[in-house]
Chain A
Amino acid sequence: MDANSKLSWRRTNAMFILALAACLPGGHADAQQDKGSVILYDKDSQYYRIRVVDEAGGKRRSLYFSRYRGVQSRMLRANPDALDFEYARSMIAAFALHGKPKNVLLVGLGGASLPKFIQKHFHGTRLDIVEIDPDVVRVAQKYFFFKPAPETRIYVMDGRMFLKWVVGKYDVILLDAFAGDRIPFHLTTKEFLQLVREHLVPNGVVAGNLWNPHDTRFRAAETATYLQVFPQTYLFKCGNSSNVVVFGAMSRTKVECSDWVGRATAVARGRALGFGLPKLIRNEYSCQTGVRVRESALTDEMAPVDTLLREHPRHFEEAQPAR
């Protein structure tokens, strides 16, 4: 290895570390060291260590599940119902893709930013929420001002068990379940997504948040899994954030960008969403159907999520259009 490449290797590494630090606002630059931060809640639950921290002099409130594993949810104190994270805004694009969702399922409550937003702007939507940790439900209500609407029901159980157990179908399913910084493997597999598909109406849409700060093999593998299960698959890279949102649509017809933007314009009309949904879709839209992903789909048998998240796609080429 000559000096030049060594240097560039070092630089890459330094950039990687910087990127990592940027991705984990609650990471090593720990909240406790931040002068403007106040820890409101810090307790072990059945699954995590839950921490609620007021940051930036009380301007925003964040939820952490463990010290170094990134922020799970963030709320602006001035506007508690707003969606502060790009990925959460992207997931609302699923509402536009469906058009007029009446029954919605959210897997993974976190700081309840999505349910608060849905209850406020999509009044009357029947919302089912599945959250495995009862303390997360309590924290969301107490510290993140989540008041379940009459049409909202909360199920304290594992997301996959819920889908095995529940009867009925949804227009939109939002998957946002994380254990720290990764999706539990049994919520990533083909078998799980098939279960999701069984609970979607014929024009239903699923949106899955893949926390993915660096381009890991996991993102490609999970996209490959969606491609196997859903007739149409779309992917939003969520700007500069660390998230990627994958959409699986039941409808066989491919929705073009302009069409989706048009639907979003209709959805946004008369609603003060607080961000430009049509613009977001125009910027992020990418249809994955027909794209060849060089990574095999995840199955119950073989879902090495932890390994894939650690591995950069060294020999992985950005998805190539199929010929």
Chain B
Amino acid sequence: MTRVCIFVAAFLSGAAVMSLEMAAFRLVQPEFGSDIIVWGSLISVFLGGLALGAWAGGWLADRRPALWKLGAVVAVAGIVSLGVPLYSGAVLDWTFPVGEPAPAEWGAGSVYVPPDMRWPTLAAGTLLFLVPAFLLGTITPYAVRLFVREMPHLGADVGKVSAVSTFGAIVGTLGTAFYLIAWMGTRRLFILNGTILLALGLALVIADRFLSVPRRGDGAAEEP
């Protein structure tokens, strides 16, 4: 039963990562343009968040892992996602470079290239999405830690959790791109994903009270 919970958590959080990423493009593009810089920046921020999250999640997983802790992280990720639309406007305004009006004297008939947008875009993406991506990034290693029971099956177990999470990511990507953006719009996508994560997190916390998490894995982590 615990394993089913972990599958569900891995699937839904994988879906949420990609759904949030797609929504992030729709949120940033009106302000920062349909530039390839926007895509590059946001993908990097999400990957960076996931990487840092994986590191931290792995570290945390070796310290008294419990399903309720996983649930708590998922719930916090949900709350952060719910908050994004509240402050995104302010963040995008603040990071947008204030351009000076075009100088009158520059050569007429010439090609004018605007100020460098790369770092402001990356800054906006970081402020908005690094934290949710980080929190969601902690889930996979933590889920693996809870999932694995015996070392001989470590490889297969890691593969399973990773596969389920990636399938979730596919569902999140296609579902958002093909249907959800047209059905609900950008802001409501954040609310949907936040709500799903919050509900999932709370469900995991509650489930932990009724399920005995196998502790056998703990022995492997103890220092000799």
Contact = CB atoms under 8 A, between A and B. Distances in A.
Contacts of B34: 132, 158, 179, 184, 186
A158 B35 contact: yes
Contact of A154 (B32, B36, B111): B111
User: Which among A151, A162, A164, A165 has the greatest number of chain B C-beta atoms within 10 A?
Assistant: A165
Given A148-B109, A150-B108, 7 more contacts: A132-B34, A134-B111, A157-B113, A158-B32, A186-B33, A192-B30, A300-B30
* B contact residues, range: 20 to 34
Contacts of A162: 114
Nearest to B108: A150
Interface in A141-199: 147-162, 164-168, 179, 184-186, 189, 191-192
Contacts of A147: 109
A118 interface: no
B111 A137 contact: yes
21 contacts: A46-B36, A132-B33, A150-B108, A150-B109, A152-B108, A152-B109, A153-B109, A160-B30, A161-B32, A161-B33, A164-B31, A165-B99, A165-B114, A166-B102, A167-B102, A179-B34, A185-B29, A301-B185, A301-B186, A302-B184, A308-B182
A235 B125 CA distance: 39
A152 B106 CA distance: 12
A290 interface: no
Contact of A168 (B32, B101, B181): B101
Interface in B24-79: 26, 29-36
Contacts of A158: 32-35
Contacts, number: 88
A165 B96 CA distance: 10
Interface in B142-200: 181-182, 184-188
Interface residues of A, number: 41
Given A153-B110, A304-B181, A307-B182, A160 B33 contact: yes
A191 B33 contact: no
Interface of B: 26, 29-36, 96, 99, 101-102, 108-114, 117, 181-182, 184-188
Contacts of B185: 299, 301-302
B187 to A, nearest CB: 5
Contact of A149 (B31, B109, B117): B109
Contact of A132 (B26, B35, B99, B181): B35
A301 B117 CA distance: 23
B163 to A, nearest CB: 30
Contacts of A152: 108-109
A186 B30 contact: yes
Contacts of B112: 153-156
Given A302-B185, A304-B182, A156 B113 contact: yes
Contacts of B113: 134, 155-157
A293 B108 CA distance: 43
User: Which among B101, B182, B184, B186 has the greatest number of chain A C-beta atoms within 10 A?
Assistant: B182
A41 interface: no
Given A179-B34, A186-B34, A156 B111 contact: yes
A120 to B, nearest CB: 15
A191 B102 contact: no
A160 B38 CA distance: 14
B30 A191 contact: yes
A47 interface: yes
Contacts of A164: 31, 96
A165 B112 CA distance: 13
B30 A47 contact: no
Contacts of A155: 102, 112-114
Contacts of B186: 300-302
Given A164-B96, A302-B185, A156 B114 contact: yes
